[in-house]
Amino acid sequence: MGHRIVRLLLGTIILGISAPTLSAAVLTDAAAKAYAEYVDRARRSFLDRVNQPVGGSEPDRAALHREETTVRPGGGDGIQELPDSLLHHWRGAVFIPRTTLNQSLSVSRAYSDYPTIFHPVVAAKVLSDQGDVLRVQFRMRQSAGGITGTVDMWSNIQYGRPDPTHAYVISIADTIREVKDAGRPTERYVPPGQDRGYLWRAATFTRFVEADGGVYMEMETIGLSRPFPPLLGWVIEPIARRIGRGSVENSIQEFRRAVLARRS
């Protein structure tokens, strides 16, 4: 499930950055430390909500039953400044009718099918599977403004099921590498410190609740990227927030369609 933040960040960071200004970016120790502390707090908050209803207020739950998707900032206003970096945090929810928790989890674990389910995923390979703990390598590609970004991401993914009607997935990417000349004979990884800072860190927390004749799914994505280019932040930031909302909504809807198609 950790691929979703890539769609958001690649589209956001590539947007509005022309090729001449897209210089290398460096992940500093201060940025990495601030991100790790933020994700730790967010993870603990997520686990506290695992057994709670999804959807919040009655109007929100009614909207989910109308096949709408609710998306909100997961923290602040969706994009927050950290030392030498930006943190992107969004949370979305959807209701999948006439399905079960087992069917939803089956799609979640069908990593070989991800390239046909989710737009930015080019490939997904399970490197190890110990039941509820997996390690998966994803390749993601996104284009915007005439620029294409490709990254490989290695994620540790943990599934939990505290009772028959609740389940959760925690995906933490511990290695992310930008790919140069992807798919060509000259393909190679960009050395750390010389990449363009599309995505330095990523985490995705997803929970499922079976109720009301279907399954509620809530997903939140957290990512760390380079700051916006100097003098362009005021232009890019509002567009980036719109992309953030749209990216989460698209990914959740893609998952919903995949569950419904498999059920059929």
What is the domain-level CATH number for residue 249?
A: 3.30.530.20
- When divided into structural domains, the chain yields a total of 1
How do residues 104-130 score in pLDDT, each as one tens digit?
A: 999 999 999 999 999 889 999 999 999
Q: Strands 85-97 and 79-82, how do they pair?
A: antiparallel
Average pLDDT of the residues in 34-49: 97
Average pLDDT of the residues in 62-68: 88
- pLDDT band at 62; cut points 50, 70, 90: confident
Q: DSSP E strands: which ranges in 113-213?
A: 121-129, 133-144, 147-163, 166-180, 188-189, 201-211
Q: Which residue has the higher pLDDT, 53 or 234?
A: 53
pLDDT at 24 over 70: no
Dihedral sign computed on CA atoms, order 33, 7, 132, 205: positive
Give the structural domain span for 251.
Answer: 4-17+24-263
